[in-house]
Structure formats: structure tokens, C-alpha cells
Amino acid sequence: MLDWLSEALPDDTLVGLDLGTSLPFADRGAFFPGWTRSPADAKTLWALVEGICAENPHLAATSFVDHPDAAPHFRRHGGREGALFGGGRGRLRETELAQERMGCRPCSNFNLVGAAQVGKSSLTGMRVLHRLGARIPVWPFDPLPERGSVIVEIYTTLAAMAAGRRAGRSKMRDAAELDAGLGQLGCPLSGLDGPLSDHQADALLTAAWLRIAAREPELWQPVALTRQVAATEGWTFGAV
């Protein structure tokens, strides 16, 4: 994916990455309270993850979650819940609190366990974003360009809700369900038939939704997206 984004991305593409582009910061005033290397902003966090995991193949983040100063903040497999994880669904970013207000139940990016976790892809995604450097702006850490490509964080449940699904029943597993959602969005039908994986349906529906939602100015200006939040925690496109 890094190679494709770097070398083969078509012009003027809105790229939606289904991962967390940062970690909670606002709730405790730091990503990793008490750790002297805790970064002051998201881009420095990406660099920290990359630096600690430089020897991990395939942009993995194993060394980061095993790091003695980072590990206490994560919930990991084998019942290894760090003392600083926070219990329950864990610490949440401001954008995840906004998702809760919309009826969703997001999990903390510090959670690395279970089907709903997004922590692993978030950490490996940070290595991708760090290596991309300034090639493609990443909203909201970077200002929106007047033209050209841009990367946003997505949460496929938000696209499904816009297509008429309930938050708790957002997954679609056949072409008929996908086409029903596309129809709700006013998009052409998929032309597919039979069963699909929920991952395929998520990707297709969210791509269709992004083409429409990108033209809605209010989605680029959520009330809770302050300058500080934009620099530290980032935001999920479509959360209001």
C-alpha cells in the first residue's frame, strides 16, 4: 500500500484509511503520561513508532507495543492489559466521543484485542504515514490542498449509517445489501451478485460515500475539531 500511495496513486484522489491516525491525547494531556518521550503531536508520534519499530519487517509495530514505556498503555492478547489502559473500551479520542454521540461504539486505539479493535492497523498505519512524509497531505494534520490528493481517516460504520444502516447492524455480506445501501446514497448499483465479505462491502460502500460526502463542507469543519485536537489526535472524516 505504501508503494502504491507513493508511486501509483491517481491524481486528485481522496484516500480513506480505515484505521486510527493517532492515539488519545486530550483526555490526559499526553499520549503516554509519565513517559519522557511521549510526543507533543501526532506527526512526532508517527516518527516515534517508526523509530522504535525500524527493524520490524512489513511495517509491523511489535517493538512498540513491547516497549516497556508504551506497553502499560495497551490491552494485548493473553489477558495482558496494561495498568494505564483505563479499563472498559479504553481511552477515546475526541473524534471517537463524537462517534458515540452519533450512536456508534468505537474502541480505543490502545486496544489490540478482539474483532472491533483497530489498534494494530493504527500503529502500522502510522509507519506508512511517516514514510509518506509530505507526498500526500493527511487531514486534519495538514491543511486541505486547493487541488490534488489527500488522505483521511475513515470509519466504515459512518458510511453505512449514511446509507440507511443502523450502527449496530452496519455490516453487509451480499450484493443485494450493498446495492440497497448504494441506492440510498443515490449511487449506481454495484453490478455484483451473491455473497460478499463484509470487508468488500465496506470498501465499496465507503468509497461511494466518500465521493458524495467530500462535497459537504460541514464534514470538514466539525465543531470539536480544534487546532490542538487536529495536531494531536486527528479526526475521523464524517464524525460530527
- Residue 168 pLDDT: 81
Ranges of the chain whose pLDDT falls below 70: none
Cβ contact 161:181 at 8 Å: no
pLDDT tens sequence across 95-114: 999 999 999 999 999 999 98
- pLDDT value for 39: 98
Helix (H, G, I), strand (E, B) or coil at 114: coil
Q: How many CA atoms lie within 13 A of 18 on its CB side?
A: 16
174 secondary structure, DSSP code: B
pLDDT digits (tens, 9 = 90+) for 1-16: 999 999 999 999 999 9
pLDDT on residue 69:
97
User: In 3D, which of 162, 150, 65 has the Cα closest to residue 110?
Assistant: 65
Give the model's pLDDT for residue 95.
98
pLDDT at site 167: 87
C-alpha cell at 167: 450502527
- The pLDDT assigned to 52 comes to 98
Measure the CA–CA gap between 139 and 236, rounded to whole angstroms: 9
